[in-house]
A = this chain, B = another copy of it.
Amino acid sequence: MSEREPARFAILPEVLAGDTADVYFLRTREILAREGVDPGVTMEFFPRLSGVLCGIREALEFLRVALGGVEVVVETLEEGLPMAPREPVLRLTGRYQAFGIYETALLGMLAQESGWATAARACVEAAGPIPVYSYGARHVHPRVAPILDYAAIVGGCLSGSTPAGARLAGRWPIGTMPHALVLILGDTVAAAEAFNRVMAPEVPRSVLVDAFHDEPEEAIRIASALGVTLQSIRLDTPAERGGVTPDLVREVRARLDLAGYARVGIFISGGLTVERIRLLRESGVPIVGFGVGSAISGASPIDFTADIKAIANHPVAKRGRIPGLTPNPRLRQVEL
Interface set of A (CB-CB < 8 Å, partner B): 10, 12, 14-15, 18-28, 30-32, 34-35, 37, 39, 41, 96, 100, 103-105, 107-109, 111-113, 135, 137-147, 161-165, 173-185, 194-195, 197-199, 203, 210-214, 216-217, 238-243, 245, 247-248, 250-251, 254-255, 258, 294, 297-301, 303-304, 307-308, 311, 315-324
Contacts and interface: CB of A to CB of B under 8 A. Distances in A.
22 contacts: A20-B145, A20-B163, A21-B142, A21-B163, A22-B138, A23-B161, A24-B178, A28-B177, A30-B198, A31-B181, A31-B195, A103-B180, A108-B138, A109-B141, A112-B139, A143-B147, A211-B319, A212-B214, A213-B213, A241-B241, A241-B319, A254-B323
Contacts of A107: 138-139
Given A144-B143, A300-B298, A323-B254, A32 B177 contact: no
A138 to B, nearest CB: 4
A198 B304 contact: no
B20 A165 contact: yes
A24 B161 contact: yes
Given A181-B31, A322-B250, A109 B142 contact: yes
A301 B142 contact: no
Which of A107, A143, A197, A303 has the most chain B CB atoms inside 10 A of its CB? Answer: A143
